[in-house]
Structure 1
Amino acid sequence: MPFAANASHSGSPPEALPGGRIISVDEAKAINDASGAFFIDVRNPINYGRGHLPPAISLPYEGSADSPGDKAGFIRGLPKAKDTPLVIYSHGPTGWKSYRAAQTAIEAGYKKVYWLRDGFGAWEASGYPVKYGAERN
């Protein structure tokens, strides 16, 4: 069913994130290596279980190009400290979920929001470690 919902979306998400920053997989790796960033995989739990960035938690987001999604539910899953660096990702550069999730975090007052626009696919293709399993970290 998610594919049917995506069929109505026109184009890819924007190539800018006002109030946040788009990062590459190399930058995401450096952020992970250097800090206590909070990595968020917004894909559904099945895809999370099939592979995710090792530090990531599963916090599914249902927003799309046409709908901002369940903002309150997403915000409840975020750390309380608004200065915590957040790295948010989904499948890849054509997905709206991670963009909407990053927008939601910025609107909620988070100061360090990083959007891994190229997503899990680029991370995996880079050869960086991947963790498998459905545990939510």
Structure 2
Amino acid sequence: MARLAALKAALLILPLGALPAHAGPPPEPSGYRLDDYRAPTPATLAGATVLDTARAEALWKQRGAIFVDVLPHPPKPAELPAGTLWRDPPHETIAGAVWLPEVGRGALAAATEDYFKRSLAELTHGRREQALVFFCKKDCWMSWNAAKRALGYGYSQVYWYGDGVDGWKGAGLALETIKPRP
């Protein structure tokens, strides 16, 4: 018996009731996430509708919303030797989506915020009641930030698809390679 107790202590085996509880998703912050964007996201976004893959697919099939991918655009590596040909890596996303890179950061440069506002206004033809689905990848705060920002701009039908391209691809749904919206 003493040997079993010593073995448990050596292996740090805890009784089942002593296991730490799963923390679950983080709470919804009052502002934007400013860094460490690839981390667990909240389960909610005040003012927006949170979508799982089945509900996102239903909206997509009905063509009932504009799908907005906010994943950042990969920069040209700074260490490339001068004269090296650089080709942007392909960007695979939900078929029919629009890619607005960089608009999901917590703090936006004035030019990026203008780009985001202008793009949303053009995509929705100025109709702030137009349904918008924001996404990027699973456990990525950029889509959460972008959806929150769109709410702040006065858009009333904002959806957040937190599983993003990862959830869509995992369900075997249609993907395509696209370029960023100018």
Q: TM-score range by the shorter chain?
A: 0.7 to 0.9
Matched, 1:111 2:139: no
Percent identity for Structure 1 against Structure 2 = 26
Query: Unaligned stretches of 5+ in structure 2?
Result: 1-33, 75-87
Amino acid at match of 1:100: N
- Match among 133, 147, 150 for residue 87 of structure 1: 133
Q: Which residue of 2 is the match for residue 97 of structure 1?
A: 142
- The alignment's TM-score, normalised by the length of structure 2, stands at 0.62
Equivalent residues in 2 for 1:1-137, closer than 5 Å: 6-7=35-36, 11-45=39-73, 49-64=90-105, 67-69=106-108, 70-78=112-120, 79=124, 80-92=126-138, 94-134=139-179, 136=181
Please give the alpha-carbon distance, in whole angstroms, between the structure 1 residues aligned to 2:89 and 2:135: 11
Q: Higher Cα Rg: structure 1 or 2?
A: 2
Amino acid at match of 1:60: P
Conservation of the 8 A alpha-carbon contact between 1:89 and 1:117? yes
Query: Unaligned stretches of 5+ in structure 1?
Result: none
Relative contact order higher in (CA < 8 Å, ≥ 6 apart): 1
Please give the alpha-carbon distance, in whole angstroms, between the structure 2 residues aligned to 1:133 and 1:10: 22
- Equivalent pairs, count: 129
Shift of 1:55: 1.5
Conservation of the 8 A alpha-carbon contact between 2:99 and 2:178? no
Conservation of the 8 A alpha-carbon contact between 2:101 and 2:180? no
- The alignment's TM-score, normalised by the length of structure 1, stands at 0.80
SS in 1 for 2:68: strand
